[in-house]
Amino acid sequence: MTAFDEMGVLPEIAKAVDEMEWTLPTDVQAEAIPLILGGGDVLMAAETGSGKTGAFCLPVLQIVWETLQDIGAGKTSSSAVQHQHPTQWLLSLFDRGSALAVTPDGLRCQSREPKEWHGCRANKGVQGNEKFFFEAIVTDEGLCRVGWSTNQASLDLGTDKFGFGFGGTGKKSNDKQFDSYGESFGMHDVIGCYLNLSKGEISFSKNGANLGVAFTLNAQQKSQTYYPAVVLKNAEMSFNFGPQPFKHPPSNDYIAVASASKECTKENPINSSQSQSKEDSKPKSNAPQAIIIEPSRELAEQTYNQIQKFKKHLKDPVIKELLVIGGVSVKDQISTLNSGVDIVVGTPGRLEDLIQGGYLLLTHCRFFILDEADGLLKQGYTELIDRLHRQIPKITSDGKRLQMIVCSATLHAFEVKKMAERLMHFPTWVDLKGEDAVPETVHHVVVMVDPQKDKSWHNLRRHIETDAVHSRDNVRPGSNSPETLSEAVKILKGEYCIQALKEHNMDRALIFCRTKLDCDNLERYLKQAGNQFSCVCLHGDRKPAERKANLEKFKRQEVKYLICTDVAARGLDITGLPFMINITLPDEKSNYVHRIGRVGRAERMGLAISLVSKVPEKVWYHGEWCPSRGKKCQNTNLTDQAGCCVWYNEPNYLAEIEDHLNVTIQQVDASMKVPLNDFDGKVTYGQKRSNMGSNYQNHVQQMAPYVKQLSSLESKTQLLYLKRHMTTAAN
């Protein structure tokens, strides 16, 4: 039995993992896999390279496969949860709004939609001439109305003549008539809901205090069947229909709805019709059970490839997965969807196109997974995520609750926290990272580029082509104008990059540039410098096929260097990558950690070198105001002059990064020589440390003087204590 078997992972999946030489689960896998298998929502953050893709893919694969197996065996029923206890009173899984979630026990509901009301009715109703009662408790702040309605009423309780509600603002409502009643209520308040069908009266209580008659029913209304009902806006309530003791029992002549006689009880027709439709539990061919959203094509491809490896031994049924990204024939993707898909991995744009076109259905989605969620939110996909979440039923047709899994570089980002509060259902945090930190296996250093001290750029016959932001400026050697020094920095950084590659014999390295233009310029410069600097580019302007081919060339070590923008900073999984160079520091401090996280993975040592200009550098900054969004733009004015350039102050960004990480990053000179700590032992970048710490003999020699000093201090302390003790005794 493997360690993965012991966590409850299927033997077939554990076997595939074992063949990938994953002997033990990583920390994040050990924490997250049991939580996901247990049915909970999970928020996870861990170091880059920690195995978080496996942490969500393994349990998702298992649950999808088990569900398919149950469907094939005819074990599932669209009313699985409620038909386990057909006599119980529960909130209906079917007679409810699209954005209202009901817990599996059927006694608590929640809506995280901040702008819309979503309602629900119970799975049973009461009729006759008796007096009935149930309790509702506000379990989270928000707007809510609770009361009674017939099955003709809308789910927005109190907005038509068939529904009678009492709201948290202290208003009673029927047929859109909102009148003051009783008093307002909120968090932890217990609302009693009374229905007197003999007199035709509906009333409410708050924490046991009766608020008086709210509504009077006419003869026709008294003859109707009434269902406990609720409507919420970004709120949560729990219900007691009678099996448990009430917090504030009603007067003796009122009975709990759960105690109503069989003659007075009627099944909710919507609930009944749904429960009879066994075919509803069978997913349509284009209705996958899991949607995994990635911020980039490369990440989507990596996750897709991992799923294919993990499912290798899962047979009868076979899980079908689909990669949905741009740059690939949409017709082929639609054809695959129509032939049957269980798991979809994709990027937001193409996913949205297929969903809006009706080619991909969300009706049977069991898992909604956001990988690198902070990246998705920063790219502006908040509204899309919210919209997709609203469209996914919160309880699947077989009675299982939607599970949402969110992976993020940090759970402390404001946007991620807000999204979790808005969309997730009591998520468990798996935060094995805390605030951003650089892995211990990475040496990261800074090289200051100072054109006022290093004037070698004056005499360079061949140098890197710059980004042309100074094409209209009077730039000339010997001048100390800001424009001249800025151009000098761009030239020197090309030279410093080559110096770093040579000094450390970098046979494999990621090189990060700020813009796509900078990437293109550096690629040309390195190729001109000789065959020893073979390289390829990876950025958004390269066609998908070229991007994929370039990444494969780098992975197969057909070229030495991959030059990229931050599109590649998240999720690139390249084993044993030893080196990384920042041509320019990122303006987002968290991206510094993402970039550096590409090296030093799987306990292997890595070196990251950042080239930091000591003077301000003028750079391109194209925004929404730029007609071409940067393509062949020649407007070199600053943004405050309606242009597309800004002054980039790297020392400020360096200070923010150091403050963020709570470290001082070591600085080295232009020779790029990186001194090693005495206790690091011998380090070969790209490999595990050959000697974890110094050997025992050297350790003893280094510590001997300190041990001797401690021994002397201990002796002096003892003598001083005895001296004082004897003086005190003599007195």
How far is the C-alpha of 63 from the C-alpha of 314, rounded, in Å? 12
How far is the C-alpha of 603 from the C-alpha of 567, rounded, in Å? 25
704: tokens are 């001997």
- Alpha helices by DSSP H, listed for 174-262, are 219-222
438's CB contacts (< 8 A; 6+ apart) are: 444, 593, 596, 661, 663
Instruction: Please state whether 426 falls in left (phi above 0), alpha (psi between -120 and 50) or beta.
Output: left
730's CB contacts (< 8 A; 6+ apart) are: none
- The 10 Å CB-count burial string (b at 16+, else e) for 234-260 is bbbbbbbbbeeebeeebeeebbbbbeb
How far is the C-alpha of 382 from the C-alpha of 140, rounded, in Å? 23
Averages of pLDDT over each 10 residues, the chain, 731 residues:
75 90 84 87 79 91 90 59 61 82 85 86 94 95 94 91 96 95 94 96 96 95 95 94 94 91 89 46 76 92 94 92 90 91 94 88 91 89 89 71 86 81 83 69 92 90 90 85 95 95 93 93 93 89 82 90 78 74 90 80 81 95 84 90 94 91 89 70 68 48 72 82 73 61
**pLDDT tens digits along 241-261:** 999 999 999 987 999 999 999
Nearest 5°: the CA angle 331, 336, 339 is 125
Q: How many residues does the chain have?
A: 731
Enumerate the β-bridge partners of residue 666. Answer: 445
Q: Residue 303: what residue type? A: T
684's CB contacts (< 8 A; 6+ apart) are: 605, 690
Identify the CA nearest to 221 among candidates 199, 194, 238: 199
pTM over 0.85: no
**pLDDT tens digits along 125-184:** 999 999 999 999 999 888 999 999 998 899 999 999 999 999 999 999 999 999 999 999
Whether the upstream peptide bond of residue 228 has omega within 30° of 0, thus cis, is: no
- The 10 Å CB-count burial string (b at 16+, else e) for 616-630 is bbbbbbbeeebeeeb
